[in-house]
Structure 1
Protein backbone atom coordinates (compact mmCIF):
# COMPACT_ATOMS: atom_id res chain seq x y z
CA UNK A 1 0.00 0.00 0.00
CA UNK A 2 1.41 3.40 -0.97
CA UNK A 3 -0.59 5.56 1.42
CA UNK A 4 1.69 6.09 4.38
CA UNK A 5 0.09 9.36 5.54
CA UNK A 6 -3.67 9.20 5.93
CA UNK A 7 -5.64 12.44 5.60
CA UNK A 8 -9.23 12.72 6.91
CA UNK A 9 -11.87 13.62 4.34
CA UNK A 10 -12.73 16.88 6.08
CA UNK A 11 -9.08 17.95 5.95
CA UNK A 12 -8.87 17.04 2.26
CA UNK A 13 -11.97 19.11 1.47
CA UNK A 14 -10.48 22.19 3.14
CA UNK A 15 -7.19 21.60 1.32
CA UNK A 16 -8.82 21.27 -2.12
CA UNK A 17 -10.74 24.48 -1.47
CA UNK A 18 -7.43 26.35 -1.85
CA UNK A 19 -7.54 25.56 -5.56
CA UNK A 20 -9.78 26.67 -8.38
CA UNK A 21 -10.53 23.07 -9.37
CA UNK A 22 -14.00 22.61 -7.91
CA UNK A 23 -15.25 21.03 -4.70
CA UNK A 24 -14.05 17.66 -3.43
CA UNK A 25 -16.37 14.82 -4.42
CA UNK A 26 -14.30 11.71 -3.64
CA UNK A 27 -10.80 10.69 -2.61
CA UNK A 28 -9.20 7.27 -2.76
CA UNK A 29 -5.73 6.08 -1.79
CA UNK A 30 -3.66 4.66 -4.65
CA UNK A 31 -1.88 1.39 -3.91
CA UNK A 32 0.80 1.66 -6.63
CA UNK A 33 4.18 3.22 -5.89
CA UNK A 34 6.58 2.85 -3.01
CA UNK A 35 8.02 6.32 -2.37
CA UNK A 36 5.09 8.63 -1.56
CA UNK A 37 1.44 8.73 -0.50
CA UNK A 38 -0.93 9.20 -3.43
CA UNK A 39 -4.64 9.91 -3.60
CA UNK A 40 -6.98 9.92 -6.57
CA UNK A 41 -9.06 13.07 -6.17
CA UNK A 42 -12.39 13.70 -7.87
CA UNK A 43 -13.86 17.19 -7.79
CA UNK A 44 -16.88 18.82 -9.39
CA UNK A 45 -14.57 19.87 -12.25
CA UNK A 46 -12.47 16.80 -12.90
CA UNK A 47 -9.94 14.30 -11.64
CA UNK A 48 -6.51 14.95 -10.10
CA UNK A 49 -3.70 13.23 -8.20
CA UNK A 50 -2.67 14.42 -4.76
CA UNK A 51 0.84 13.41 -3.68
CA UNK A 52 2.22 13.71 -0.16
CA UNK A 53 6.00 13.42 -0.23
CA UNK A 54 7.34 11.06 2.38
CA UNK A 55 10.72 11.10 4.13
CA UNK A 56 12.61 9.38 1.30
CA UNK A 57 12.18 12.52 -0.83
CA UNK A 58 14.33 15.55 0.02
CA UNK A 59 12.02 18.54 0.36
CA UNK A 60 14.74 20.81 -1.03
CA UNK A 61 14.55 18.94 -4.35
CA UNK A 62 10.80 19.34 -4.83
CA UNK A 63 10.90 22.75 -6.58
CA UNK A 64 13.25 21.22 -9.18
CA UNK A 65 10.98 18.24 -9.81
CA UNK A 66 7.85 20.37 -10.11
CA UNK A 67 9.54 22.91 -12.40
CA UNK A 68 10.76 20.08 -14.64
CA UNK A 69 7.29 18.53 -14.84
CA UNK A 70 5.77 21.90 -15.72
CA UNK A 71 8.44 22.53 -18.37
CA UNK A 72 7.88 19.11 -19.95
CA UNK A 73 4.09 19.48 -19.93
CA UNK A 74 4.26 22.93 -21.47
CA UNK A 75 6.52 21.44 -24.15
CA UNK A 76 3.70 19.16 -25.24
CA UNK A 77 4.79 15.96 -23.50
CA UNK A 78 2.30 13.68 -21.71
CA UNK A 79 3.60 14.70 -18.29
CA UNK A 80 1.27 15.66 -15.42
CA UNK A 81 1.38 19.39 -14.81
CA UNK A 82 1.51 20.57 -11.19
CA UNK A 83 -1.59 22.57 -10.25
CA UNK A 84 -1.14 25.92 -8.52
CA UNK A 85 -3.49 27.16 -5.84
CA UNK A 86 -5.24 30.52 -6.01
CA UNK A 87 -2.09 32.23 -4.71
CA UNK A 88 0.13 30.68 -7.38
CA UNK A 89 1.81 28.04 -5.20
CA UNK A 90 2.18 24.43 -6.39
CA UNK A 91 4.08 23.09 -3.38
CA UNK A 92 1.93 22.88 -0.24
CA UNK A 93 1.96 21.42 3.25
CA UNK A 94 -0.64 18.83 4.24
CA UNK A 95 -0.74 16.60 7.32
CA UNK A 96 2.86 17.54 8.11
CA UNK A 97 4.10 16.53 4.65
CA UNK A 98 5.01 18.52 1.55
CA UNK A 99 2.20 18.00 -0.95
CA UNK A 100 1.19 18.80 -4.50
CA UNK A 101 -1.87 18.39 -6.70
CA UNK A 102 -1.08 17.33 -10.27
CA UNK A 103 -3.08 16.63 -13.40
CA UNK A 104 -4.60 13.19 -13.85
CA UNK A 105 -3.47 11.37 -16.98
CA UNK A 106 -5.39 8.54 -18.59
CA UNK A 107 -3.65 5.25 -19.24
CA UNK A 108 -2.56 2.03 -17.57
CA UNK A 109 0.86 1.33 -16.08
CA UNK A 110 2.85 -0.97 -18.33
CA UNK A 111 3.43 -4.45 -16.92
CA UNK A 112 4.57 -6.58 -19.87
CA UNK A 113 6.16 -4.46 -22.62
CA UNK A 114 5.70 -5.47 -26.23
CA UNK A 115 8.26 -4.46 -28.86
CA UNK A 116 5.77 -1.92 -30.21
CA UNK A 117 5.33 -0.38 -26.78
CA UNK A 118 9.10 -0.41 -26.24
CA UNK A 119 9.46 1.61 -29.43
CA UNK A 120 6.80 4.07 -28.27
CA UNK A 121 8.43 4.40 -24.85
CA UNK A 122 11.87 4.90 -26.39
CA UNK A 123 10.45 7.64 -28.60
CA UNK A 124 8.85 9.23 -25.53
CA UNK A 125 12.24 9.35 -23.81
CA UNK A 126 13.82 10.89 -26.90
CA UNK A 127 11.10 13.54 -26.97
CA UNK A 128 11.67 14.20 -23.27
CA UNK A 129 15.37 14.81 -23.91
CA UNK A 130 14.55 17.10 -26.83
CA UNK A 131 11.94 19.15 -24.97
CA UNK A 132 14.07 19.55 -21.82
CA UNK A 133 17.25 20.50 -23.69
CA UNK A 134 16.58 24.13 -22.71
CA UNK A 135 15.60 23.36 -19.12
CA UNK A 136 18.12 25.40 -17.14
CA UNK A 137 17.82 23.96 -13.63
CA UNK A 138 20.56 21.59 -12.46
CA UNK A 139 20.33 18.73 -9.98
CA UNK A 140 23.29 16.44 -9.33
CA UNK A 141 22.64 12.71 -9.56
CA UNK A 142 23.16 11.32 -6.06
CA UNK A 143 23.29 7.86 -7.66
CA UNK A 144 25.67 8.85 -10.44
CA UNK A 145 29.09 7.30 -10.98
CA UNK A 146 30.65 8.40 -7.68
CA UNK A 147 27.43 7.75 -5.77
CA UNK A 148 27.23 4.20 -7.12
CA UNK A 149 30.79 3.44 -6.06
CA UNK A 150 30.11 4.84 -2.60
CA UNK A 151 26.91 2.84 -2.20
CA UNK A 152 28.66 -0.29 -3.47
CA UNK A 153 31.29 0.04 -0.77
CA UNK A 154 28.55 0.34 1.83
CA UNK A 155 26.75 -2.77 0.53
CA UNK A 156 29.80 -5.00 0.15
CA UNK A 157 30.27 -6.12 3.79
CA UNK A 158 26.80 -7.74 3.94
CA UNK A 159 26.06 -8.46 0.28
CA UNK A 160 26.68 -12.19 0.67
CA UNK A 161 23.75 -12.32 3.10
CA UNK A 162 21.61 -11.92 -0.03
CA UNK A 163 23.56 -14.35 -2.24
CA UNK A 164 26.96 -16.02 -1.64
CA UNK A 165 28.38 -14.67 -4.89
CA UNK A 166 26.91 -11.17 -4.76
CA UNK A 167 29.81 -9.38 -3.06
CA UNK A 168 32.27 -10.66 -5.66
CA UNK A 169 29.96 -9.51 -8.48
CA UNK A 170 29.56 -6.04 -6.98
CA UNK A 171 33.27 -5.63 -6.25
CA UNK A 172 34.38 -6.66 -9.73
CA UNK A 173 31.80 -4.44 -11.42
CA UNK A 174 32.82 -1.47 -9.28
CA UNK A 175 36.41 -1.99 -10.43
CA UNK A 176 35.28 -2.17 -14.06
CA UNK A 177 33.19 0.99 -13.76
CA UNK A 178 36.00 2.89 -12.04
CA UNK A 179 38.30 2.03 -14.94
CA UNK A 180 35.85 2.54 -17.84
CA UNK A 181 33.26 5.16 -16.88
CA UNK A 182 33.21 7.80 -19.66
CA UNK A 183 33.51 11.26 -18.14
CA UNK A 184 32.96 13.37 -21.29
CA UNK A 185 29.51 12.31 -22.51
CA UNK A 186 26.84 14.95 -23.27
CA UNK A 187 24.98 15.91 -20.11
CA UNK A 188 21.23 16.51 -19.99
CA UNK A 189 18.18 16.49 -17.78
CA UNK A 190 17.30 12.81 -17.43
CA UNK A 191 14.39 10.93 -15.88
CA UNK A 192 16.75 8.28 -14.43
CA UNK A 193 13.95 5.90 -13.42
CA UNK A 194 11.80 5.32 -16.50
CA UNK A 195 10.67 1.80 -15.68
CA UNK A 196 7.50 0.39 -17.28
CA UNK A 197 5.43 1.25 -14.21
CA UNK A 198 6.40 4.91 -14.69
CA UNK A 199 4.86 4.95 -18.16
CA UNK A 200 1.11 5.04 -18.80
CA UNK A 201 -0.23 3.66 -22.06
CA UNK A 202 -3.42 2.89 -23.92
CA UNK A 203 -2.76 0.12 -26.40
CA UNK A 204 0.59 0.93 -27.99
CA UNK A 205 0.34 4.67 -27.35
CA UNK A 206 2.19 6.31 -24.46
CA UNK A 207 -0.24 8.57 -22.62
CA UNK A 208 1.86 9.47 -19.60
CA UNK A 209 5.39 9.79 -18.23
CA UNK A 210 5.25 9.99 -14.45
CA UNK A 211 7.33 9.86 -11.24
CA UNK A 212 10.14 12.31 -11.88
CA UNK A 213 11.52 12.05 -8.36
CA UNK A 214 14.92 10.68 -9.40
CA UNK A 215 15.29 13.17 -12.26
CA UNK A 216 18.65 14.87 -12.39
CA UNK A 217 21.48 16.13 -14.59
CA UNK A 218 23.71 13.33 -15.87
CA UNK A 219 24.92 11.60 -19.04
CA UNK A 220 22.02 11.69 -21.48
CA UNK A 221 22.72 8.20 -22.84
CA UNK A 222 22.60 6.77 -19.32
CA UNK A 223 18.83 7.42 -19.35
CA UNK A 224 18.46 5.09 -22.33
CA UNK A 225 20.66 2.53 -20.58
CA UNK A 226 18.31 2.58 -17.58
CA UNK A 227 15.38 1.86 -19.89
CA UNK A 228 17.29 -0.99 -21.54
CA UNK A 229 17.59 -2.79 -18.21
CA UNK A 230 14.04 -1.97 -17.16
CA UNK A 231 12.20 -2.81 -20.39
CA UNK A 232 14.24 -5.48 -22.18
CA UNK A 233 14.42 -8.24 -19.55
CA UNK A 234 11.87 -10.35 -17.75
CA UNK A 235 10.97 -9.01 -14.32
CA UNK A 236 13.30 -11.49 -12.61
CA UNK A 237 16.15 -10.63 -14.97
CA UNK A 238 16.49 -14.20 -16.20
CA UNK A 239 15.44 -13.59 -19.82
CA UNK A 240 16.70 -10.93 -22.25
CA UNK A 241 14.45 -9.88 -25.14
CA UNK A 242 16.60 -8.55 -28.01
CA UNK A 243 13.55 -7.55 -30.06
CA UNK A 244 12.51 -5.19 -27.26
CA UNK A 245 16.02 -3.68 -27.14
CA UNK A 246 16.04 -3.07 -30.89
CA UNK A 247 12.61 -1.46 -30.76
CA UNK A 248 13.52 0.70 -27.76
CA UNK A 249 16.60 2.13 -29.46
CA UNK A 250 14.80 2.60 -32.78
CA UNK A 251 12.07 4.56 -31.04
CA UNK A 252 14.58 6.75 -29.24
CA UNK A 253 16.51 7.47 -32.46
CA UNK A 254 13.25 8.50 -34.12
CA UNK A 255 13.00 11.41 -31.67
CA UNK A 256 16.61 12.14 -30.68
CA UNK A 257 20.00 11.24 -32.16
CA UNK A 258 22.54 9.01 -30.42
CA UNK A 259 26.09 10.19 -31.03
CA UNK A 260 28.86 7.81 -32.05
CA UNK A 261 30.53 8.41 -28.67
CA UNK A 262 27.33 7.52 -26.82
CA UNK A 263 26.75 4.39 -28.91
CA UNK A 264 30.33 3.24 -28.34
CA UNK A 265 30.02 3.25 -24.54
CA UNK A 266 26.41 2.07 -24.29
CA UNK A 267 27.50 -1.38 -22.95
CA UNK A 268 29.34 0.35 -20.08
CA UNK A 269 26.30 2.54 -19.34
CA UNK A 270 23.97 -0.44 -19.38
CA UNK A 271 26.17 -2.22 -16.85
CA UNK A 272 26.28 0.93 -14.72
CA UNK A 273 22.48 1.16 -14.75
CA UNK A 274 22.16 -2.51 -13.73
CA UNK A 275 24.64 -1.91 -10.92
CA UNK A 276 22.72 1.14 -9.71
CA UNK A 277 19.45 -0.75 -9.27
CA UNK A 278 21.20 -3.81 -7.89
CA UNK A 279 22.82 -1.65 -5.22
CA UNK A 280 19.76 0.37 -4.20
CA UNK A 281 17.70 -2.80 -3.97
CA UNK A 282 20.46 -4.54 -2.01
CA UNK A 283 20.70 -1.61 0.41
CA UNK A 284 16.94 -1.65 0.99
CA UNK A 285 16.94 -5.44 1.28
CA UNK A 286 19.58 -5.34 4.01
CA UNK A 287 18.44 -2.24 5.88
CA UNK A 288 14.63 -2.03 5.65
CA UNK A 289 12.99 -3.22 8.90
CA UNK A 290 10.72 -6.24 8.53
CA UNK A 291 7.68 -4.21 9.67
CA UNK A 292 8.32 -1.26 7.33
CA UNK A 293 5.57 -0.19 4.94
CA UNK A 294 7.95 -0.06 1.97
CA UNK A 295 8.03 -3.30 -0.02
CA UNK A 296 11.57 -4.51 -0.70
CA UNK A 297 12.43 -5.45 -4.28
CA UNK A 298 14.65 -8.42 -5.15
CA UNK A 299 18.21 -7.23 -5.89
CA UNK A 300 19.04 -10.50 -7.64
CA UNK A 301 16.79 -9.50 -10.54
CA UNK A 302 19.41 -6.89 -11.40
CA UNK A 303 22.32 -9.15 -10.52
CA UNK A 304 21.04 -11.44 -13.29
CA UNK A 305 20.80 -8.52 -15.69
CA UNK A 306 24.32 -7.45 -14.84
CA UNK A 307 25.71 -10.94 -15.39
CA UNK A 308 23.99 -11.13 -18.77
CA UNK A 309 25.44 -7.76 -19.82
CA UNK A 310 28.93 -8.76 -18.72
CA UNK A 311 28.76 -12.06 -20.61
CA UNK A 312 27.45 -10.32 -23.74
CA UNK A 313 30.55 -8.12 -24.07
Structure 2
Protein backbone atom coordinates (compact mmCIF):
# COMPACT_ATOMS: atom_id res chain seq x y z
CA UNK A 1 0.00 0.00 0.00
CA UNK A 2 1.38 3.35 -1.04
CA UNK A 3 2.03 6.02 1.59
CA UNK A 4 -0.66 8.28 0.11
CA UNK A 5 -3.19 5.45 0.43
CA UNK A 6 -2.18 4.85 4.05
CA UNK A 7 -2.69 8.54 4.77
CA UNK A 8 -6.12 8.46 3.14
CA UNK A 9 -7.05 5.32 5.09
CA UNK A 10 -6.04 7.08 8.29
CA UNK A 11 -8.17 10.09 7.34
CA UNK A 12 -11.07 7.81 6.41
CA UNK A 13 -10.88 6.10 9.80
CA UNK A 14 -10.85 9.48 11.54
CA UNK A 15 -13.89 10.71 9.59
CA UNK A 16 -15.95 7.60 10.36
CA UNK A 17 -14.93 7.71 14.03
CA UNK A 18 -16.33 11.25 14.29
CA UNK A 19 -19.72 10.22 12.85
CA UNK A 20 -22.52 8.97 15.14
CA UNK A 21 -23.56 5.48 14.05
CA UNK A 22 -27.01 6.59 12.89
CA UNK A 23 -25.47 9.31 10.71
CA UNK A 24 -22.85 6.89 9.39
CA UNK A 25 -25.49 4.34 8.35
CA UNK A 26 -27.49 6.93 6.40
CA UNK A 27 -24.78 9.08 4.81
CA UNK A 28 -21.55 7.06 4.70
CA UNK A 29 -22.26 3.33 4.53
CA UNK A 30 -23.81 3.44 1.01
CA UNK A 31 -20.43 4.65 -0.31
CA UNK A 32 -18.87 1.23 0.38
CA UNK A 33 -21.51 -1.14 -0.97
CA UNK A 34 -21.57 -2.98 2.36
CA UNK A 35 -24.71 -3.85 4.31
CA UNK A 36 -24.95 -2.89 7.97
CA UNK A 37 -25.80 -6.48 8.90
CA UNK A 38 -22.48 -7.69 7.49
CA UNK A 39 -20.47 -4.84 9.01
CA UNK A 40 -22.00 -5.15 12.49
CA UNK A 41 -21.38 -8.91 12.42
CA UNK A 42 -17.71 -8.30 11.57
CA UNK A 43 -17.42 -5.86 14.51
CA UNK A 44 -18.91 -8.43 16.90
CA UNK A 45 -16.66 -11.19 15.55
CA UNK A 46 -13.66 -8.94 16.23
CA UNK A 47 -14.88 -8.68 19.87
CA UNK A 48 -15.05 -4.89 19.64
CA UNK A 49 -17.66 -2.60 21.24
CA UNK A 50 -20.36 -1.37 18.86
CA UNK A 51 -19.19 2.23 18.51
CA UNK A 52 -17.93 4.46 15.65
CA UNK A 53 -14.23 3.78 16.33
CA UNK A 54 -14.77 0.02 16.08
CA UNK A 55 -16.81 0.33 12.89
CA UNK A 56 -14.12 2.56 11.37
CA UNK A 57 -11.37 0.10 12.26
CA UNK A 58 -13.14 -2.94 10.76
CA UNK A 59 -14.36 -1.12 7.66
CA UNK A 60 -10.95 0.35 6.87
CA UNK A 61 -9.44 -3.14 6.97
CA UNK A 62 -11.96 -4.23 4.34
CA UNK A 63 -11.44 -1.07 2.25
CA UNK A 64 -7.65 -1.47 2.17
CA UNK A 65 -8.05 -4.88 0.50
CA UNK A 66 -11.10 -4.25 -1.69
CA UNK A 67 -10.58 -0.76 -3.14
CA UNK A 68 -7.88 1.00 -5.14
CA UNK A 69 -6.04 4.10 -3.96
CA UNK A 70 -8.05 6.32 -6.33
CA UNK A 71 -11.35 4.86 -5.10
CA UNK A 72 -10.32 5.43 -1.50
CA UNK A 73 -9.35 9.03 -2.27
CA UNK A 74 -12.74 9.71 -3.93
CA UNK A 75 -14.65 8.24 -0.99
CA UNK A 76 -12.60 10.23 1.52
CA UNK A 77 -13.33 13.46 -0.36
CA UNK A 78 -17.08 12.79 -0.36
CA UNK A 79 -17.21 11.68 3.27
CA UNK A 80 -15.16 14.68 4.37
CA UNK A 81 -17.85 16.91 2.87
CA UNK A 82 -20.68 14.82 4.35
CA UNK A 83 -19.05 15.15 7.76
CA UNK A 84 -19.01 18.93 7.34
CA UNK A 85 -22.69 18.84 6.36
CA UNK A 86 -23.74 16.80 9.39
CA UNK A 87 -21.54 18.38 12.08
CA UNK A 88 -22.33 21.68 13.85
CA UNK A 89 -20.39 24.63 12.43
CA UNK A 90 -20.85 28.36 11.95
CA UNK A 91 -22.29 29.36 8.57
CA UNK A 92 -22.33 32.86 7.08
CA UNK A 93 -25.14 33.93 4.75
CA UNK A 94 -24.39 35.56 1.40
CA UNK A 95 -27.06 36.81 -1.01
CA UNK A 96 -26.54 36.13 -4.71
CA UNK A 97 -27.56 38.55 -7.46
CA UNK A 98 -27.37 39.14 -11.23
CA UNK A 99 -28.31 35.69 -12.42
CA UNK A 100 -26.46 34.62 -15.57
CA UNK A 101 -28.45 31.56 -16.62
CA UNK A 102 -32.06 30.40 -16.84
CA UNK A 103 -31.23 26.71 -17.17
CA UNK A 104 -33.05 24.03 -15.12
CA UNK A 105 -31.85 23.51 -11.55
CA UNK A 106 -30.80 19.92 -12.24
CA UNK A 107 -28.52 21.08 -15.06
CA UNK A 108 -26.98 23.78 -12.86
CA UNK A 109 -26.23 21.26 -10.11
CA UNK A 110 -24.35 19.03 -12.56
CA UNK A 111 -22.45 21.97 -14.06
CA UNK A 112 -21.41 23.68 -10.80
CA UNK A 113 -18.13 21.77 -10.16
CA UNK A 114 -16.85 22.33 -13.70
CA UNK A 115 -17.75 26.03 -13.67
CA UNK A 116 -16.04 26.63 -10.33
CA UNK A 117 -12.95 24.77 -11.52
CA UNK A 118 -12.84 26.81 -14.73
CA UNK A 119 -13.24 30.10 -12.86
CA UNK A 120 -10.41 29.25 -10.45
CA UNK A 121 -8.04 28.16 -13.20
CA UNK A 122 -8.26 31.65 -14.70
CA UNK A 123 -7.04 33.35 -11.52
CA UNK A 124 -4.99 30.63 -9.78
CA UNK A 125 -2.82 29.16 -12.50
CA UNK A 126 -0.16 27.74 -10.17
CA UNK A 127 -2.58 25.65 -8.08
CA UNK A 128 -5.10 22.95 -8.94
CA UNK A 129 -8.76 23.41 -7.91
CA UNK A 130 -10.46 20.50 -6.17
CA UNK A 131 -14.25 20.75 -6.05
CA UNK A 132 -16.52 18.21 -4.38
CA UNK A 133 -20.33 18.26 -4.18
CA UNK A 134 -22.93 16.21 -2.34
CA UNK A 135 -26.72 16.58 -2.15
CA UNK A 136 -28.19 15.94 1.30
CA UNK A 137 -31.92 16.53 1.60
CA UNK A 138 -32.79 19.88 0.03
CA UNK A 139 -29.27 21.30 0.35
CA UNK A 140 -26.32 21.09 -2.02
CA UNK A 141 -23.00 21.08 -0.15
CA UNK A 142 -19.69 21.96 -1.80
CA UNK A 143 -16.05 21.96 -0.77
CA UNK A 144 -13.61 24.08 -2.78
CA UNK A 145 -9.86 23.90 -2.24
CA UNK A 146 -6.69 24.89 -4.09
CA UNK A 147 -3.82 22.41 -3.96
CA UNK A 148 -0.35 22.02 -5.44
CA UNK A 149 2.45 19.49 -5.15
CA UNK A 150 3.87 21.30 -2.14
CA UNK A 151 0.89 22.71 -0.24
CA UNK A 152 -2.88 22.73 0.15
CA UNK A 153 -4.95 25.82 0.78
CA UNK A 154 -7.78 26.02 3.30
CA UNK A 155 -11.06 24.56 2.09
CA UNK A 156 -14.18 26.68 1.65
CA UNK A 157 -17.40 24.87 2.48
CA UNK A 158 -20.65 26.03 0.93
CA UNK A 159 -24.29 25.05 1.45
CA UNK A 160 -27.03 26.26 -0.87
CA UNK A 161 -30.65 25.36 -1.65
CA UNK A 162 -30.47 24.65 -5.42
CA UNK A 163 -32.07 27.35 -7.53
CA UNK A 164 -32.31 29.94 -4.73
CA UNK A 165 -30.28 33.20 -4.67
CA UNK A 166 -28.67 32.47 -1.31
CA UNK A 167 -25.70 30.48 -0.07
CA UNK A 168 -24.05 29.77 3.27
CA UNK A 169 -20.26 29.74 3.46
CA UNK A 170 -17.83 28.59 6.14
CA UNK A 171 -15.83 31.84 5.88
CA UNK A 172 -16.43 35.25 4.32
CA UNK A 173 -12.70 36.01 4.08
CA UNK A 174 -11.90 33.57 1.25
CA UNK A 175 -12.97 36.06 -1.41
CA UNK A 176 -11.39 34.34 -4.41
CA UNK A 177 -13.03 30.99 -3.70
CA UNK A 178 -16.38 32.65 -2.94
CA UNK A 179 -16.35 34.59 -6.22
CA UNK A 180 -15.64 31.41 -8.18
CA UNK A 181 -18.44 29.61 -6.32
CA UNK A 182 -20.92 32.41 -7.02
CA UNK A 183 -19.99 32.25 -10.70
CA UNK A 184 -20.35 28.47 -10.65
CA UNK A 185 -23.84 28.76 -9.15
CA UNK A 186 -24.85 31.01 -12.04
CA UNK A 187 -24.58 34.53 -10.58
CA UNK A 188 -22.32 37.53 -11.12
CA UNK A 189 -22.14 39.10 -7.69
CA UNK A 190 -22.93 38.61 -4.02
CA UNK A 191 -23.28 40.56 -0.78
CA UNK A 192 -22.47 39.50 2.77
CA UNK A 193 -25.66 39.50 4.84
CA UNK A 194 -23.96 39.97 8.26
CA UNK A 195 -25.96 36.95 9.37
CA UNK A 196 -24.38 33.83 10.83
CA UNK A 197 -25.28 30.85 12.96
CA UNK A 198 -25.15 27.07 13.25
CA UNK A 199 -28.71 26.18 12.24
CA UNK A 200 -29.11 26.37 8.45
CA UNK A 201 -32.95 26.30 8.36
CA UNK A 202 -33.07 29.17 10.88
CA UNK A 203 -30.63 31.26 8.82
CA UNK A 204 -32.68 30.70 5.66
CA UNK A 205 -35.88 31.70 7.49
CA UNK A 206 -34.32 34.87 8.87
CA UNK A 207 -32.88 35.81 5.50
CA UNK A 208 -36.20 35.31 3.69
CA UNK A 209 -39.60 35.02 5.40
CA UNK A 210 -40.79 32.83 2.51
CA UNK A 211 -38.83 29.97 4.12
CA UNK A 212 -41.16 30.05 7.14
CA UNK A 213 -43.98 27.52 7.29
CA UNK A 214 -46.29 30.47 7.97
CA UNK A 215 -44.66 33.36 6.15
CA UNK A 216 -47.33 35.84 7.27
CA UNK A 217 -47.01 35.03 10.97
CA UNK A 218 -47.56 38.25 12.91
CA UNK A 219 -46.58 40.81 10.30
CA UNK A 220 -47.17 43.35 13.09
CA UNK A 221 -46.62 43.02 16.84
CA UNK A 222 -50.01 42.86 18.61
CA UNK A 223 -51.03 45.44 21.19
CA UNK A 224 -50.01 44.69 24.75
CA UNK A 225 -53.21 44.65 26.83
CA UNK A 226 -52.69 42.52 29.97
CA UNK A 227 -55.75 40.84 31.46
CA UNK A 228 -56.23 38.12 34.11
CA UNK A 229 -56.02 34.61 32.65
CA UNK A 230 -57.61 31.40 33.91
CA UNK A 231 -54.93 28.79 34.58
CA UNK A 232 -54.98 25.21 35.93
CA UNK A 233 -54.50 26.52 39.47
CA UNK A 234 -56.96 29.42 39.33
CA UNK A 235 -57.04 32.96 37.98
CA UNK A 236 -53.69 34.67 37.40
CA UNK A 237 -54.00 38.33 38.39
CA UNK A 238 -50.22 38.86 38.23
CA UNK A 239 -50.32 38.91 34.39
CA UNK A 240 -47.41 36.44 34.32
CA UNK A 241 -49.35 33.93 32.21
CA UNK A 242 -50.53 36.72 29.90
CA UNK A 243 -46.95 37.96 29.46
CA UNK A 244 -45.68 34.47 28.65
CA UNK A 245 -48.47 33.89 26.10
CA UNK A 246 -47.92 37.34 24.60
CA UNK A 247 -44.21 36.71 24.00
CA UNK A 248 -44.88 33.16 22.78
CA UNK A 249 -47.32 34.61 20.24
CA UNK A 250 -44.79 37.18 19.00
CA UNK A 251 -41.88 34.76 18.66
CA UNK A 252 -44.04 32.10 17.02
CA UNK A 253 -44.39 28.34 17.54
CA UNK A 254 -40.97 27.49 16.07
CA UNK A 255 -38.72 30.57 16.22
CA UNK A 256 -35.39 30.55 14.35
CA UNK A 257 -32.38 29.54 16.42
CA UNK A 258 -29.81 32.29 16.97
CA UNK A 259 -26.91 31.96 19.40
CA UNK A 260 -25.40 35.45 19.42
CA UNK A 261 -26.54 39.00 18.80
CA UNK A 262 -24.81 42.38 18.86
CA UNK A 263 -26.96 45.50 19.25
CA UNK A 264 -25.62 49.03 18.85
CA UNK A 265 -27.79 51.95 19.85
CA UNK A 266 -27.62 55.38 21.44
CA UNK A 267 -29.67 56.78 24.29
CA UNK A 268 -29.89 60.20 25.86
CA UNK A 269 -28.47 60.63 29.36
CA UNK A 270 -31.19 60.20 32.00
CA UNK A 271 -30.68 63.77 33.29
CA UNK A 272 -30.39 66.22 30.37
CA UNK A 273 -29.61 69.09 32.77
CA UNK A 274 -26.39 67.36 33.81
CA UNK A 275 -25.34 65.95 30.42
CA UNK A 276 -27.10 66.90 27.21
CA UNK A 277 -25.58 64.13 25.15
CA UNK A 278 -26.42 60.73 23.66
CA UNK A 279 -24.59 57.74 25.12
CA UNK A 280 -23.49 55.01 22.68
CA UNK A 281 -24.40 51.55 23.93
CA UNK A 282 -23.28 48.14 22.65
CA UNK A 283 -24.98 44.97 23.89
CA UNK A 284 -23.48 41.53 23.18
CA UNK A 285 -25.70 38.51 23.85
CA UNK A 286 -24.36 34.96 23.62
CA UNK A 287 -26.66 32.05 24.41
CA UNK A 288 -27.52 28.57 23.17
CA UNK A 289 -30.91 29.75 21.89
CA UNK A 290 -31.86 33.43 21.95
CA UNK A 291 -35.62 32.84 21.63
CA UNK A 292 -35.63 30.47 24.63
CA UNK A 293 -33.55 32.95 26.63
CA UNK A 294 -35.97 35.80 25.87
CA UNK A 295 -38.94 33.68 26.98
CA UNK A 296 -37.11 32.73 30.18
CA UNK A 297 -36.20 36.35 30.94
CA UNK A 298 -39.81 37.46 30.51
CA UNK A 299 -41.08 34.59 32.67
CA UNK A 300 -38.64 35.53 35.46
CA UNK A 301 -39.45 39.24 35.17
CA UNK A 302 -35.92 40.14 34.06
CA UNK A 303 -37.27 42.00 31.01
CA UNK A 304 -40.72 43.28 30.12
CA UNK A 305 -42.79 41.52 27.43
CA UNK A 306 -42.70 44.81 25.52
CA UNK A 307 -38.89 44.97 25.71
CA UNK A 308 -37.00 46.26 22.69
CA UNK A 309 -35.18 42.90 22.65
CA UNK A 310 -38.45 41.15 21.74
CA UNK A 311 -39.11 43.65 18.96
CA UNK A 312 -35.57 43.28 17.62
CA UNK A 313 -35.83 39.48 17.53
CA UNK A 314 -39.19 39.71 15.75
CA UNK A 315 -37.69 41.69 12.88
CA UNK A 316 -34.16 40.31 13.02
CA UNK A 317 -32.26 40.09 9.73
CA UNK A 318 -28.69 40.08 11.03
CA UNK A 319 -26.54 39.23 14.04
CA UNK A 320 -25.40 42.86 14.12
CA UNK A 321 -28.18 45.39 14.72
CA UNK A 322 -28.10 49.18 14.75
CA UNK A 323 -31.27 49.99 16.65
CA UNK A 324 -33.16 53.26 17.05
CA UNK A 325 -36.30 53.43 19.15
CA UNK A 326 -39.36 54.86 17.42
CA UNK A 327 -40.03 57.23 20.32
CA UNK A 328 -36.44 58.61 20.37
TM-score if structure 1 supplies the norm length? Answer: 0.26
- Higher CA-based Rg: 2
TM-score if structure 2 supplies the norm length? Answer: 0.25
| Structure whose residues are more often strand by fraction | 2
